[in-house]
Structure 1
Amino acid sequence: MSKYLLNKFLFTVDRDPELVERYREDPAGTVAWWEGEHAGRILNSVDGERSTWPRLSDAEREALAAHDHPRLFELGAHPFLTLTLFIAMFERDHEPMGFQLEYARRLAHMNLPYPDIAT
């Protein structure tokens, strides 16, 4: 499992409006595409610098494909990264602040100590 790679996915997708829409419409396809094309880039650098070892775990891949933010948090994804990306994807489907309240409700079962979100 790579919390760094998981958070890198959330961070990079959130910063590209086209990727946000792609991930909303085809989560499993977007995760597979991103992992194949971007996971190996060293610090988001030029295409010439790549590594072959970075891979998401099956659990991370499944949670990303399911848009399962509570599971992503349990796996160590930073909650601010999931919140900002998921707001971009799903806020339009809710009344004002509705998605944020749903996000909090779905994480309400979590108790201290929270999962380690350090990378």
Structure 2
Amino acid sequence: MSKYLVNKFLYTVDRDPELVERYRTDPRGTVAWWEAEKANQLLNCTTGEASTWLAFTDEERDALVAHDHVRLFEMGAHPFLTLTLFIAMFEHDHEPLGYVKAYAAKMSHLQLPYPDIAT
């Protein structure tokens, strides 16, 4: 897994309210668009420089499209990135702190040592 690329996706989508909503309502389209258009742009770089080799694996793409934060964490995605993005997408559908509690409940089967989240 490219933890860097998955975390970059989570980070960049979370910082744009329009992308957050787009990802919530059209995850497959958003993931495909982001991978084609944004994945190879250098993070926080405004010079137009880009790489050419970064792409999601099928497993990463499937987990992102499914909004599967548990699987993303199991693969090494940073939990703070999934939590903040998924709160932005789903908290308004729950009572206060309801989504955070649901997120934690889905992660409750995990035990130490947790997956390595270093990139």
Q: TM-score range by the shorter chain?
A: over 0.9
Aligned to 2:4: 4
| CA contact 1:41–1:47 (8 Å) conserved in 2 | no
Shift of 1:11: 0.3
Q: Secondary structure at the match of 1:43?
A: coil
1:43 and 2:49 correspond: no
Q: What code does the residue aligned with 1:102 have?
A: A
> TM-score of the superposition, structure 2-length normalised?
0.97
Shift of 1:52: 1.2
1:7-65 per-position Cα deviation (integer Å, ceiling 9, x unaligned)? 00000000000000000000011000000000001224236311110011111100000
Aligned to 1:85: 85
Q: How many residues align?
A: 119
Aligned to 1:100: 100
In 1, Cα distance between equivalents of 2:19 and 2:116: 27
In 1, Cα distance between equivalents of 2:8 and 2:114: 20
Residues 1:58 and 1:47: Cα distance change in structure 2 (over 3 Å): farther
**1:37-76 paired onto structure 2 within 5 Å:** 37-46=37-46, 48-76=48-76
Question: What is the root-mean-square deviation of aligned Cα atoms in Å?
Answer: 0.9
Structure 1: where are the runs of 5+ without partners? none
Q: Structure 1 runs of 4+ off > 6 angstroms? A: none
